Structure 1
Amino acid sequence: MNQIRVLVVDDEPDFLKLIKRRLTKRNVHVDTVTNGEAALAFLREHPVDVVILDVRMPGLSGIDTLKEIRKRFRDTEVIMLTGHGSLQSGIEGISLGAYDYILKPFSIDNLLGRIRAANEHAKLRIARRGQQ
Structure 2
Amino acid sequence: MTRIKVLVVDDEPDFLKLIKRRLSKRNIDVDVATSGEVALESLRKSPVDVLILDVKMPGLSGIETLKEIRKRFGGLSVIMLTGHGSVKSGIDGMSHGAYDYILKPFSIDDLLERIRAASEHSRLKKLDRGDV
Which TM bucket (shorter chain)? Answer: over 0.9
Q: How far apart in 1 are the matches of 2:75 and 2:93?
A: 16
Aligned to 1:59: 59
Aligned to 2:116: 116
Aligned to 1:101: 101
Q: How far apart in 2 are the matches of 1:37 and 1:84?
A: 24
Aligned to 2:4: 4
Question: 2:72 aligned with 1:41, yes or no?
Answer: no
Q: How far apart in 1 are the matches of 2:129 and 2:73?
A: 15
The 5 Å alignment of 1:15-26 reads 15-26=15-26
RMSD across aligned C-alpha pairs, in angstroms? 1.0
Q: How far apart in 1 are the matches of 2:41 and 2:15?
A: 21
- Percentage of pairs with the same residue: 73
Q: More displaced, 120-129 or 110-119? A: 120-129
Q: Give the SS at the match of 2:130.
A: helix
Q: Which amino acid counterpart does residue 2 of structure 1 have in structure 2? A: T
Q: After TM superposition, give the deviation of residue 130 of structure 1 in Å.
A: 1.7
Q: Give the SS at the match of 1:69.
A: helix
Q: Give the SS at the match of 1:32.
A: strand
Output the TM-score relative to the length of structure 1.
0.96
Q: How far apart in 1 are the matches of 2:121 and 2:52?
A: 15
Q: After TM superposition, give the deviation of residue 116 of structure 1 in Å.
A: 0.3
Aligned to 2:50: 50
Q: Give the SS at the match of 2:80.
A: strand
* Aligned positions, number: 131
Output the TM-score relative to the length of structure 2.
0.96
Q: How far apart in 2 are the matches of 1:48 and 1:76?
A: 8
Moved over 3 A (4+): none
Unaligned runs of at least 5 residues, structure 1: none
Q: After TM superposition, give the deviation of residue 114 of structure 1 in Å.
A: 0.2
Q: After TM superposition, give the deviation of residue 84 of structure 1 in Å.
A: 2.4
Q: How far apart in 2 are the matches of 1:84 and 1:65?
A: 20
